Amino acid sequence: MRDLRISVTDRCNFRCTYCMPKEVFGKDFPFMPREALMTFEEIDRIAGIFISLGVKKIRLTGGEPLLRRNLHELVSMLSLRDAEIAMTTNGVLLPRYAPALSAAGLDRVTVSLDAIDESTFAAITDSGHTVAAVLAGIEAAESVGLGPVKINTVVKRNSNEDEILDIIERFSSRDIAVRFIEYMDVGTTNGWSLDEVVSASEIRDIIGDFERITPENKSDVAKRYKLPNGGEVGIISSVTEPFCNDCTRARISSDGRLFTCLFSNRGLDLLSPIREGATDGYVADLIREQWNARKDRYSEERALHSTKKKEKVEMSYIGG
Ligand code: SAM
Ligand code: SF4
Task: State the CATH number of the domain containing residue 252.
Answer: 3.20.20.70
Nearest to 83 by CA among 162, 6, 8, 198: 6
User: Is 320 a pocket residue for ligand 1 (Cβ < 6 Å)?
Assistant: yes
Quote the pLDDT of residue 317. Answer: 82
Which of 8, 14, 59 has most ligand 2 atoms within 8 Å of its beta carbon, as the pocket-test mutant? 14
Quote the pLDDT of residue 310. Answer: 65
Ligand 1 centroid – CA 54 distance (Å)? 25
CA distances from 194 to 141, 222, 226, 302 (A): 35, 20, 28, 10
* Averaged pLDDT, 12-21: 96
* Averaged pLDDT, 207-213: 88
Mean model confidence pLDDT for the chain: 92
Check pLDDT > 80 for residue 73: yes
* Averaged pLDDT, 238-248: 81
* Averaged pLDDT, 99-113: 98
Check pLDDT > 80 for residue 19: yes
Do 105 and 57 touch, CB atoms closer than 8 A?
no
Question: Greater confidence, 89 or 262?
Answer: 89
pTM: 0.94
The answer to whether the peptide bond before residue 215 is cis (omega within 30 degrees of 0) is no
* Averaged pLDDT, 105-133: 98
User: Is 152 a pocket residue for ligand 1 (Cβ < 6 Å)?
Assistant: yes
Ligand 2 centroid – CA 134 distance (Å)? 13
Check pLDDT > 60 for residue 245: yes
Question: pLDDT category, 111, cuts 50, 70, 90?
Answer: very high
* Averaged pLDDT, 277-286: 98
Which of 88, 129, 138 has most ligand 1 atoms within 8 Å of its beta carbon, as the pocket-test mutant? 88
Find the domain containing 269 and state its range. 3-318
Check pLDDT > 80 for residue 200: yes
- Which own/partner pairs from 26-33 qualify as long-range (CB within 8 Å, at least 24 positions apart)? 32/254, 32/255
For residues 91 and 60, what is the distance between their CA atoms, to the nearest angstrom?
Answer: 13
Which of 12, 22, 262 has most ligand 2 atoms within 8 Å of its beta carbon, as the pocket-test mutant? 12
Do 109 and 151 touch, CB atoms closer than 8 A?
no
Quote the pLDDT of residue 295. Answer: 77
- Name 62's Cβ contacts closer than 8 Å, sequence gap at least 6: 7, 8, 9, 10, 11, 12, 68, 254, 316, 319, 320
Return the residue whose CA atom lies nearest to atom 4 of ligand 2.
16
Quote the pLDDT of residue 294. Answer: 83
Polymer length of the chain: 320
Which of 59, 64, 159 has most ligand 2 atoms within 8 Å of its beta carbon, as the pocket-test mutant? 64
User: Is 63 a pocket residue for ligand 2 (Cβ < 6 Å)?
Assistant: yes
Ligand 2 centroid – CA 21 distance (Å)? 10
Quote the pLDDT of residue 136. Answer: 98
Check pLDDT > 70 for residue 85: yes
Quote the pLDDT of residue 303. Answer: 64
Check pLDDT > 70 for residue 216: yes
User: Is 14 a pocket residue for ligand 2 (Cβ < 6 Å)?
Assistant: yes
Quote the pLDDT of residue 308. Answer: 54
**Considering its fold, how many domains does the chain have in total?**
1
User: Is 317 a pocket residue for ligand 2 (Cβ < 6 Å)?
Assistant: no
CA distances from 76 to 102, 104, 110 (A): 9, 5, 19
Count Cα neighbours of 276 within 13 Å in the Cβ-side half-sphere. Answer: 8
- Sheet with 57-61: strands ordered across: 223-226, 232-236, 177-182, 150-155, 108-112, 84-89, 57-61, 3-7, 249-252, 257-259, 268-269
Question: pLDDT category, 309, cuts 50, 70, 90?
Answer: low
The ligand minimizing its distance to the Cα of 121 is: 2
Question: Greater confidence, 209 or 153?
Answer: 153
